[in-house]
Structure 1
């Protein structure tokens, strides 16, 4: 499997530019000595660039038998918008259309998984950085409940950033999340270990649908594809009120807090009020439905070098970093030959519900050729 993945890197990285660094010899050496009794024995994966050394999301995958090939691209740190990847000289491209971005900031992860090079890649999500690239590339991205995946430097001040996975299937990201979950000496405040849930055959599930969570409208063709995905057995769409406040100002304040920047006390109090209000609104929503479904992004993938003009793509995702709810993006169809993702959001701690609903509506799509 590792040799095949390295062949895939050799074939596709010169086209897609998803590799930040590669350790082919190290990967092959690990593969030759892997314990075949481990749950991920020999499974190749990529690590998101600039992931801290010793991060539990990496060390626990390796302990489960997975083989790191190297690191995948992400956006330049000084970019206003992070919805692109950069290997130092080239933008990461979308396997569906080389003129388009693979999303970000976990850009290389999604491109490599969509191209069939690896079945799994790590990432981090502060405003949709797992879900947006998964949506743009037609694969699966899971952001768990805040604290689900332990971090090398513990819980951030504002708790926006959550580690997670991009993978080929709902089952793959669920298994990987379970294997890396639970408190760690580097993050003893992480949530308890999360067993792999049963997600097949459950339901029926009651869901609410929203095409927008702010004044920004979703493109009608994207909205139509996601709505159509809900017309499957076991999913019942219900009307339900959601008293949601816009999160842009709150997210920006909390981002600055996480970055250690000076934050005005009044701005922080306002951000906390938005977080508290939206958490209560979601609790009220979940008293009548099991999950909320939205498009993952209001647009399909933008041009690979147009990210600064397309910062709106996170409008449907970043609110759930503010509140900390689990959310998963799954592919549900195409618009103009480009993937469309549906985002399933569930109550805190109920990744099992989000994944079970996602497993009902997901549509497997493969890059042509």
Structure 2
């Protein structure tokens, strides 16, 4: 899409008659056909369906906005349903990690691994790999995904775009897992696009009546935010170059950074059994009790931290994008992310700059329900990166 148009800009132009939804969608299809042989971000392209949907567009905030759906997303997904109702047009399905892969920070289309548009030797992250690569390369302004351990935020960090996991239940899902890890969401090149798309998708749904209420577009005023910065939340250390980029960005924005200790119990003690529950596997009662202990302890520790600061800032990933061919290795670069799937806090990844020519993402976390605060702080910290070399 020439100039990497924003979703809101496309919607306004289509409603004004400056361009038709069909024209926008044809541009996205052409870009997908041109770039997919290089980046391998598509699981499938639905040309006929996209063209038919574009012809039916009749207004809506996202009128004519092309987007990709993460492969294996249920057809009845409330997120997809509500984006389409707002005028958006799905053009196909994006890649995710290969089933059974040792690490999930890759994408796989059945024959090749998804590549990062910043460097074709690198992975775009995962598991929403294809969506992040396509958004970064300007094929579409939005892509859907789900986040159970960083699957929106990790690829957003690797690809220099925005990935937002709202408070648990912010966007309804077709079926809630028993472990309570997965939150549906979107990746976008523009923070406002991500906010609008999230707002559109919120509110209780017949498939998920316990979802949080409708979340209007936030109007949180900018103010002198107080934040805590922790370069790591677990055992693995952050790469010094990533740490330096984020510290420099915090200093440049003038946010008040408060030194607040944070002692968390090991996330893996909770995430592994909870993931088992989410995926329909039985778990040992002792493991279930331990998961509850970790979740409770970490929620209390974070609640205490948020009595002193408005938000917590961390690296989204401990390193920049790793090689796309490291798929047989166990990689823990997304360690700061899965903490907040266990606790359910809102967390957003935005680009903070670059290290070694590759994007560095920072993560902003806020108290439960304070998604607007996380996004307001992230707006202060984000850096608008140029379009990557492959676009």
Q: Is the 8 A contact 1:21 1:71 kept in 2?
A: yes
> Does 1:175 pair with 2:201?
no
Superposed, 1:46-125 pairs within 5 Å as: 46-125=68-147
Point out where structure 1 has 5 or more consecutive residues left out of the alignment.
none
SS across alignment from 1:93: coil
The 2-side partners of 1:233 and 1:108 are apart by 32
State the partner residue of 2:65. Answer: 43
Deviation (angstroms), 1:241 = 2.0
Q: CA RMSD in A?
A: 1.1
State the partner residue of 1:325. Answer: 345
Deviation (angstroms), 1:78 = 1.3
State the partner residue of 1:158. Answer: 179
Q: Is the 8 A contact 1:57 1:180 kept in 2?
A: yes
State the partner residue of 2:170. Answer: 148
- Say which is worse superposed, 133-142 or 239-248, in terms of deviation: 239-248
Point out where structure 2 has 5 or more consecutive residues left out of the alignment.
1-23
> Does 1:4 pair with 2:27?
yes
Deviation (angstroms), 1:240 = 1.2
Q: Is the 8 A contact 2:102 2:329 kept in 1?
A: no
Structure 2 counterpart of 1:30, from 53, 56, 66? 53
Q: Is the 8 A contact 1:205 1:234 kept in 2?
A: no
The 2-side partners of 1:30 and 1:13 are apart by 22
SS across alignment from 2:314: strand
The 2-side partners of 1:195 and 1:307 are apart by 40
State the partner residue of 1:224. Answer: 244
Output the TM-score relative to the length of structure 1.
0.97
Q: Is the 8 A contact 1:213 1:246 kept in 2?
A: no
The 2-side partners of 1:310 and 1:221 are apart by 21
Deviation by residue 1:93-114 (Cα, 9 ceiling, x = unmatched):
0000101101000000000000
The 2-side partners of 1:195 and 1:276 are apart by 29
Deviation (angstroms), 1:234 = 5.6
Deviation by residue 1:299-355 (Cα, 9 ceiling, x = unmatched):
111111213424211211001000000000000111111110000001011110111
Output the TM-score relative to the length of structure 2.
0.92
- Say which is worse superposed, 253-262 or 281-290, in terms of deviation: 253-262
